[in-house]
Chain A
């Protein structure tokens, strides 16, 4: 069965600092990988996804993630945090051939001035 682990329920950074949100997964086969962002009392918005091809994926708002097959990781990064990046971030996986997404428990990103 698939599982997703997001290390750290909260991550705090200063504005302009590097953002690193960690995601590890377990899967018997290479999965599809996603990062979503959720603002308070709203649904989820897709940041980026990896399916096949280039392992470095660039998403919206300056975020990117790299599929590390050997490490079964898909960490989300952004070179310089902005106040508007403060939100909840969810890593998710789905197996090829299945429509269901399995979500991690989320990481709340806090950005201080």
Chain B
């Protein structure tokens, strides 16, 4: 089946530094990828929709200058958390569709646990 690989699985960084998270579709091309944030004991919150070759579409309330998204190829999207603060600590998950059509399911990466100290 379709596989989405996310790296790193865990990262600890100091306040003020930037962290890059990669999301790769391993056996399919994904023109669109999605980035979610999951707070403890909460649901997934869609942060942005990453479109290959164009700017990402951010959800309301998500700072695009803080959460930089780049979708440079059909198999790779990156999320960079810039000038990280402790409140950015969270579980970040990416997802992608393996085929066109809104009814096709999303395939998720295994997530990245970010801890900002």
Contact B102 A43 (CB under 8 A): no
Among B32, B42, B49, B110, the residue within 8 A (CB) of A43 is B110
Q: How far is it, in angstroms, between the C-alpha of A45 and the C-alpha of B4 when the chains are bound? A: 11
Q: Which residue of A lies closest to B111 (CB)?
A: A43
**Which residues on B sit within 8 Å (CB–CB) of A84?**
none
B57 to chain A, nearest CB (A): 10
Bits for A19-55, please: 1 = Cβ < 8 Å to B, else 0.
Answer: 0000000000000101010000111111001011000
Contact A34 B105 (CB under 8 A): yes
B10 to chain A, nearest CB (A): 8
For this complex, into which size category does the number of interface residues on chain A fall? 20 to 34
Contact B6 A43 (CB under 8 A): yes
Bits for A43-79, please: 1 = Cβ < 8 Å to B, else 0.
Answer: 1111001011000000000000000000000000000
For this complex, into which size category does the number of interface residues on chain B fall? 20 to 34
**Which residues on B sit within 8 Å (CB–CB) of A32?**
102-103
Q: How far is it, in angstroms, between the C-alpha of A8 and the C-alpha of B34 when the chains are bound? A: 27
**Which residues on A sit within 8 Å (CB–CB) of B44?**
44, 90, 103
Contact B49 A100 (CB under 8 A): yes
Q: Which residue of A lies closest to B59 (CB)?
A: A100
Contact A51 B103 (CB under 8 A): yes
Q: How far is it, in angstroms, between the C-alpha of A94 and the C-alpha of B95 when the chains are bound? A: 15
Q: Which residue of B lies closest to A45 (CB)?
A: B108
Known A96-B102, A100-B49: A43·B43 in contact at CB below 8 Å:
no
**Which residues on B sit within 8 Å (CB–CB) of A95?**
102
Name A residues whose Cβ lies closer than 8 Å to a Cβ of B: 9, 32, 34, 36, 41-46, 49, 51-52, 90, 94-106
Name B residues whose Cβ lies closer than 8 Å to a Cβ of A: 4, 6, 9, 32, 34, 41-44, 46, 49, 91, 93, 95, 97, 102-103, 105-111, 113
Q: Which 4 pairs between the two chains have the least Cβ-Cβ distance?
A: A43-B108, A51-B103, A44-B108, A105-B43
Given contacts A97-B102, A99-B102, A101-B46, 10 further A-B contacts (CB under 8 A): A44-B95, A90-B43, A90-B44, A95-B102, A96-B102, A99-B34, A100-B34, A100-B46, A101-B34, A104-B43
